[in-house]
Amino acid sequence: MQSSKRKLMSKNGEVAMLLAREFISYDVGDRIRTIRDYAEIFNTGRGTVQSAIKLLESEGAIRLESRGHLGTFILSVDFNRLWSIADFGVVMGVMPLPYSKRYEGLATGLYKAFEKANIPFSLAFMRGAEKRIQALDMGKYDFAITSKLAALHEKDKYEYIDVVHIFNEGSYVGEHIIIFRDNNINRIEDGMRIGIDPASPDQFLLTQYECEGKNVKYIETSYNQIVEKLKNKEIDAAVWNEDEIREKGLKFNIKKLTNQKSLEVNKKDTAAAMVINNENLEFKKIIKKYIDMNYIEEIQEEVLKGNIIPMY
């Protein structure tokens, strides 16, 4: 007898996979499209669609009921079987390096939300929102976590970007501040060497706004190297995340942002955003249907309070 795997490798199996990707976002009681509709969508014959549906039913992934002229309706679905046949595999996400409790909480919330939805999940960490967006475009990841500011900024640059969800304020960072090498300096002045990271839209924009009208020298540097460059006297100041200063107990002279533009931008910068490729329609439906974003934030808050040990 032909194995399930061999069946799914056939032409009928290919269409069954496409149907599974559609049905996985349906609920019991929903009406599916007609055989003719699916034949046109998948550019195949009606017989192939009918055989694919029978394959899904024989695999126990779905049960349908025809109600004559009313159409065909879903009686039951087996999410795990549909997921397997849809060949989604493990959902891959990417977010910033978890150097703060806030990021650890967000990573923990993501893991627990996908676990709750019974969806295989793995999370990678990468510095720089632009690099994460580019990796998303290359198909390496199903979604990327950035700040709201970076998500909207990159969306204007890349037409394939879709912001599928924006979390609450404070879900990404607490606040950005200016960190100075010299304890006697209170503001950015002419002649200063300012650390700036072009790979981080947040830090890049905030730095430019804070230095507006000042004759400074920008020193391009990775965000995670800023502290070392301050210690080594290679730069005089930089915009940085206050979370890390507070949690690591770093002894630096810090001051709040002062430029009105950067203050407005900083509000957008504190919220996290989930970004996907807008061609990945099936994944967008899955996220909307199965992933509880409020639950992610609840878990993050519990990690911040110390009630849950980070897990990522």
Q: Which CATH number fits domain 4-86: 1.20.120.80, 3.30.70.1520, 1.10.10.10, 3.30.70.1450?
A: 1.10.10.10
**pLDDT confidence band for 243 (50 / 70 / 90):** confident
Nearest to 299 by CA among 288, 307, 291: 307
Query: Above 80 in pLDDT, residue 183?
Result: yes
The token pair at 168 is 């609450």
The fold for domain 91-172+270-305 equals D-Maltodextrin-Binding Protein; domain 2 (3.40.190)
Q: Rounded to an integer, what distance in angstroms lies between the CA atom of residue 131 and that of residue 144?
A: 10
**pLDDT confidence band for 199 (50 / 70 / 90):** confident
Across the range 197-212, mean pLDDT stands at: 90
- Give tens-digit pLDDT for 73-110: 999 999 999 999 999 999 999 999 888 899 999 999 99
If 0-12 CB within 10 Å is exposed, 13-18 middle and 19+ buried, where does residue 219 land?
Answer: middle
- φ, ψ of residue 271 to 5 degrees: the values are -90, 140
Global confidence as pTM: 0.81
- The maximal CA–CA distance of the chain, rounded, in angstroms, is 82
In the chain, CATH 3.40.190.10 sits at 91-172+270-305, 176-269
Average of per-residue pLDDT values in the chain = 90
Give the pLDDT confidence score for residue 293 in this predicted structure. Answer: 97
In the chain, CATH 1.10.10.10 sits at 4-86
- Give tens-digit pLDDT for 248-287: 777 889 999 989 888 887 777 889 999 999 888 889 999 9
Query: Above 90 in pLDDT, residue 126?
Result: yes
Residue that wins the pLDDT comparison between 84 and 246 = 84
**pLDDT confidence band for 17 (50 / 70 / 90):** very high
The fold for domain 176-269 equals D-Maltodextrin-Binding Protein; domain 2 (3.40.190)
State how far the alpha carbon of 146 is from the alpha carbons of 17, 115, 163, 189, 200, in Å. Answer: 31, 22, 10, 30, 10
Q: Which residue has the tokens 């998500």?
A: 151
Query: Above 80 in pLDDT, residue 8?
Result: no
Helices (H), the chain: 4-8, 11-23, 35-41, 46-58, 79-86, 101-116, 129-137, 148-157, 201-210, 226-231, 242-248, 260-269, 281-290, 293-305
- Give tens-digit pLDDT for 21-64: 999 989 999 999 999 999 999 999 999 999 999 999 999 999 99
Residue 306: count of CB within 10 angstroms of its CB: 8
CA pseudo-torsion sign 299, 169, 293, 18: negative
